[in-house]
Chain A
Amino acid sequence: MSGHDQRKRTLRIGAGASYAGDRIEPATELAARAQLDYLVYETLAERTIALAQMERRRDPEAGYNELLADRFYSALPHCKKTGTRVVTNMGAANPIGAAKRTAEIIRDLKLGPMKVAAVLGDDVLAYCLEHAERLKMMETGKPLSSLEGKIVSANAYLGADVIVDALGKGADIVLTGRGGDCSLFLAPMIHEFGWRMDHWDMLGKGQTGADMVECGANVSGGFFADPGYKEVPDLANLGYPFLEVEADGTVVVSKLEGTGGVINRAICAEQMIYEIHDPANYITPDVVVDFTQVMLDEVGPDRVRISGGRGKPRPEQLKVSVGVLEGWIGEAEITYAGLGCLERAKLAEHVVRERLKIGGVKLQELRVDYLGINALHGDASLPTPGTPYEVCLRFAGRSREKRDAVKLANEVETLVGKGPCSSSIPRKHLREVLAIYSCLIPRSAIKAEVILTEVA
């Protein structure tokens, strides 16, 4: 177990996941072979937590990451052996439920004694509903009370402080809900090196390192390969990254020998800029990070040193993601092939648009794509050379009422037999719209706490 007597050494923090459904094996391999001090699983996107809240409403025992048991059954035995502590937001909408399940796994695998911490306090739905007339959405400037849809969740981005608290209490596994993604990685650094929570430059350095791995394999070869331009060796066997952090905040990002992927300056630059706006002012709950002096140096094979990150005082207010049910999206697609396929697809589009009018289908927005021609970039697409041999026609429409989204999908489905000749069998899909809006609330509105369980 890592302790304060060992403060001067290099800290090793692995990134075992970067979204809810992430792969299992690479994290297990990190746990087994990377001699980690900490293994971090980041599994929450903006929308994931709102979906989890709805899941929990249906089943009070649910609402945490569905792959938690799969991940822990395979990784925890290694973590126990190497003294690796785990920090994760797999708690999602139900950190207590996640902690209970984790305790069962520990008992089942006979890994005790271990301490499991659940971090609470990010759920601020009650506060947001109470202050809905005053809290303005960052996207529209209007108050939450002006929303037509039903507000189903509100979760604040907690910082590293409460995780540091849990680690200070000796937790081997920390399960949080919503928090800053980078804070999951920053907390172990603060805990191990004893950094002050207002040493902004130090936190800025740590957060710069955290930012490199918070999207997991996106810094070790994932979402990077472009044959002939950006080569990634053995992408199928992609290794997930880990950080080596020094007490002065210098970080090396690396991956296990014998795994696929690549870590070089180019991919680190991509990851550093990913999902930031002003690079001099990247706002996190713990510190405002300045990336404009960061240097990326290749110091070995698949090893890049990150230095020069800086920080400014943390924001006074915390961001909240508000989940709102806003109606339904119906989607359907049909494919035509052979000579004249594009003409048949265009006729099919015309037919569906007319039938939507005949049926009085009320859509807030309708989108029609020709896959293979313009589906992703619309009018900005480069012209397709020649005539396509096949084309997939896709409709997507958003409606207030479920029946209108259903009707759209059905009008596409019935193109077989009632539309142009020679098509595939259509596929259709219906989903509820869970929109996410953001607002800011004062830190004083948050009551973060740690619930610790000792598992014998």
Chain B
Amino acid sequence: MKTFYLRELAHARAGDKGDTNNIGVIAYEPHYYPIILRSITPERVKDHFRGIVKGTITRYELPNVHAINLVMEGALGGGVTRSLSLDPHGKSYSALILTMPVEVPEDIAAELMLKNRKPIEVTR
């Protein structure tokens, strides 16, 4: 196993409704999808978004497009319209989710490195 940022395996877009943020995380390749299902769990996301997500995180699966949808309650500082953040909609959270470290099996790691995607050298 090697550790990569999620960014090497998936892309993402985040949106808002009230105080809830949702992030669609989509695998670049269908065979990356099981890795995402295994590693991007609500518990790990909650830990990664420490200080940001106050409420529950629900994960929905969309195998038809090799994606998950993370619905994060209490994630927008009390709601888009009351938030003191420079990013009240949490649109930049798509970039934050892609900084999650993900364990990747050797064969897919080799495939990624062929594409010049590098594993994380020092994990925090």
Question: B-contacting residues of A (Cβ < 8 Å)?
Answer: 46-47, 138-139, 223-224, 226, 229-230, 265-266, 269-280, 291-296, 308, 326, 329, 331, 365-367, 369, 371, 375-380, 382-383, 394, 396-398, 433-438
The 0/1 profile, CB within 8 Å of A marked 1, for residues 65-91 of chain B is 111010100000111111011110001
Contacts of B40 in A (CB 8 A): none
Contact B92 A269 (CB under 8 A): no
Contact A47 B65 (CB under 8 A): no
> Do A270 and B26 form a contact, CB below 8 Å, given A276-B69, A378-B52?
yes
For residues 6 through 51 of chain B, which have their beta carbon under 8 Å from a beta carbon of chain A? 7, 11-13, 15-20, 22, 24, 26, 28, 48-51
**How far does the Cβ of B76 sit from chain A's closest Cβ, in whole Å?**
11
> Do A223 and B81 form a contact, CB below 8 Å, given A273-B69, A376-B86?
no
Contacts of B15 in A (CB 8 A): 274-275
For residues 88 through 116 of chain B, which have their beta carbon under 8 Å from a beta carbon of chain A? 91-93, 96, 99
**How far does the Cβ of B124 sit from chain A's closest Cβ, in whole Å?**
6
**Number of B residues contacting the other chain (C-beta, 8 Å)?**
44
B47's closest neighbor in chain A, by CB? A380
Contacts of A331 in B (CB 8 A): 84
- 11 pairs of residues in contact across A and B, judged by CB atoms under 8 Å: A229-B7, A266-B11, A270-B12, A270-B24, A271-B13, A272-B24, A277-B20, A277-B60, A279-B60, A380-B50, A382-B99
Contacts of B18 in A (CB 8 A): 46, 138-139, 436-438
Contacts of A272 in B (CB 8 A): 24, 65
Contact B85 A269 (CB under 8 A): no
Contacts of A383 in B (CB 8 A): 124
Q: Which of B26, B58, B84, B93 contacts A367 (CB 8 A)?
A: B84
Q: Which of B13, B28, B84 contacts A270 (CB 8 A)?
A: B13
Contacts of A275 in B (CB 8 A): 15-17, 22
Contacts of A223 in B (CB 8 A): 13, 91
**How far does the Cβ of B6 sit from chain A's closest Cβ, in whole Å?**
12
Contacts of A269 in B (CB 8 A): 24, 26, 65-67
Contact B52 A47 (CB under 8 A): no
Contact B86 A277 (CB under 8 A): no
Contact A278 B60 (CB under 8 A): yes
Contact B86 A435 (CB under 8 A): no
Q: Which of A226, A296, A367, A435 contacts B65 (CB 8 A)?
A: A296
Q: How far is the CA of A378 from the CA of B51 in the complex (A)?
A: 7
Contact B11 A379 (CB under 8 A): no
Q: Which of A273, A280, A397, A437 contacts B13 (CB 8 A)?
A: A273
Contact B82 A398 (CB under 8 A): yes
**How far does the Cβ of A261 sit from chain B's closest Cβ, in whole Å?**
15
Q: Which of B52, B64, B81, B92 contacts A436 (CB 8 A)?
A: B81
A271's closest neighbor in chain B, by CB? B13
Q: Which of A273, A308, A376, A434 contacts B67 (CB 8 A)?
A: A273
> Do A279 and B81 form a contact, CB below 8 Å, given A269-B67, A377-B92, A380-B49?
no
B18's closest neighbor in chain A, by CB? A139
Contacts of A278 in B (CB 8 A): 60, 71
Q: How far is the CA of A220 from the CA of B33 in the complex (A)?
A: 24
B91's closest neighbor in chain A, by CB? A223
Contacts of B81 in A (CB 8 A): 46-47, 433-436
Contact B26 A436 (CB under 8 A): no
Contact A277 B64 (CB under 8 A): no
Q: Which of A280, A380, A396 contacts B84 (CB 8 A)?
A: A396
**How far does the Cβ of A225 sit from chain B's closest Cβ, in whole Å?**
11
Contact B13 A295 (CB under 8 A): no
Contacts of B28 in A (CB 8 A): 266
Contacts of B85 in A (CB 8 A): 367, 376, 396
Q: How far is the CA of A97 from the CA of B6 in the complex (A)?
A: 50
**How far does the Cβ of B44 sit from chain A's closest Cβ, in whole Å?**
12
Contact A274 B13 (CB under 8 A): yes
Q: How far is the CA of A93 from the CA of B9 in the complex (A)?
A: 44
Contact A375 B79 (CB under 8 A): no
What 8 pairs across the A-B complex have the smallest Cβ distances? A273-B24, A275-B15, A396-B84, A367-B84, A270-B13, A379-B51, A269-B65, A274-B15
> Do A274 and B24 form a contact, CB below 8 Å, given A269-B67, A376-B87, A398-B82?
yes
Q: How far is the CA of A222 from the CA of B108 in the complex (A)?
A: 30
Contacts of A274 in B (CB 8 A): 13, 15, 22, 24
Q: How far is the CA of A273 from the CA of B71 in the complex (A)?
A: 11
Contact B82 A277 (CB under 8 A): no
**How far does the Cβ of B77 sit from chain A's closest Cβ, in whole Å?**
8
**How far does the Cβ of A295 sit from chain B's closest Cβ, in whole Å?**
7
**How far does the Cβ of A246 sit from chain B's closest Cβ, in whole Å?**
20
**How far does the Cβ of A32 sit from chain B's closest Cβ, in whole Å?**
30
> Do A329 and B80 form a contact, CB below 8 Å, given A277-B69, A294-B64, A380-B96?
no
Contact B92 A435 (CB under 8 A): no
